[in-house]
Structure 1
Amino acid sequence: MTVTDGQWWEYLAGLDYPVSREDLVRRAQEIGAGTEVLQALRSLPVEEFASADELTDALATIA
């Protein structure tokens, strides 16, 4: 299963920036994201994201 852009934002909507990779994982866990999503978030190349644009760029590298 491939995670779509819309699905990413369903899991990550309403974040306050900056946000850490671990905060992203925790948020996704809280709302019931599946294993594939959690593994993808853990594989993000950056440990902290200053903005939604920065996060979007990072998600594009793993999608």
Structure 2
Amino acid sequence: RMRDELLNETMFRNMAHARAVIRAWADDFNETRPHSALGYQTPKAFAEHLTTATDTRAAPSESSARMSV
């Protein structure tokens, strides 16, 4: 997507311009656009839902195995 929508169509003036345009595109892609693979949620909303659904502080672990980092 990034190559098709941004990199192939944009002439960057310099590195600062490239960084600003890419940052704006990534923010839009991750925080505004819904993705069909994520149930039409934005990646940010999906990640927030995933984090709260798998929060290890919600219940104590019954396993004696060490938690991975």
Instruction: With the length of structure 2 as denominator, give the TM-score of the two structures.
Output: 0.26
**More strand as a share of residues:** 1
User: Highest CA radius of gyration, 1 or 2?
Assistant: 2
Instruction: With the length of structure 1 as denominator, give the TM-score of the two structures.
Output: 0.28
